[in-house]
Every structure is written in structure tokens, then in C-alpha cells.
């Protein structure tokens, strides 16, 4: 599952976010959103795998973002042109609707 999670992240385009649930569904287990979060928290290479692009089902950023906390996740998203308000992104605007 871990490999599929990181594989998915490599495809997320600049300026887009995905939810933990989307990633879980891609791995074949749509109920594994929490497991996805745990995998992302142990990301072996933050520069290769852009885990900062993962948000919860309501667009909230991670309070426990592994690479510098919620402020760093916010900065990384904003650097891609993603508007963050109150540590939340508008999924209607920024969610990537990938095709398999």
C-alpha cells in the first residue's frame, strides 16, 4: 500500500491537492484514509513525494504535518498558488479530480 500512496502523489499536478480518502481509494481500500495519513507522516523523502498536497475530506491542513508543522504545509501550498484560509483549502477549486 505504501508504494501506491507515494506513486499517487507523484501524479498530483502543481496547484492541486488531494484528500487522504482519494489516495486510499487509489490504493484499493477507500476506507483506509487514516492509514494513508500514517504513511504520509513517515514520508521518506519530502522533496520527492509532495505529501503537503494531502488534506482531509473538508480541505483542512494537517495539524501534525511531518515536515515543519501546519505553517510549513500552508507555505508550500501557497507557493503553488493555492489559497489557504484558516488552514483550509477550497476543495471545489483546488481538488485534483484524477483519472485512473
The active-site residue, picked from 5, 12, 24, 51, is 51
Nearest to 16 by CA among 97, 100, 99: 97
Distance CA 4, CA 28 (A): 9
Structure-block grid coordinates of residue 57: 475530506
Residue 51 is a catalytic residue: yes
Length of the chain: 100
Q: Which positions are annotated as active-site residues?
A: 51
Amino acid at each position: 500500500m505504501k508504494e501506491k500512496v507515494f506513486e499517487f502523489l507523484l501524479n498530483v499536478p502543481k496547484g492541486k491537492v488531494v484528500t487522504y480518502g482519494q489516495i486510499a481509494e487509489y490504493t484499493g481500500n477507500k476506507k483506509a484514509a487514516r492509514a494513508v495519513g500514517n504513511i504520509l507522516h513517515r514520508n521518506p523523502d519530502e522533496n520527492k513525494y509532495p505529501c503537503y498536497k494531502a488534506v482531509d475530506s473538508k480541505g483542512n491542513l494537517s495539524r501534525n504535518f511531518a515536515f515543519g508543522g501546519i505553517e510549513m504545509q500552508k507555505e508550500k501550498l501557497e507557493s503553488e498558488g493555492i489559497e489557504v484560509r484558516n488552514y483550509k483549502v477550497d476543495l471545489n477549486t483546488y481538488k485534483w479530480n484524477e483519472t485512473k
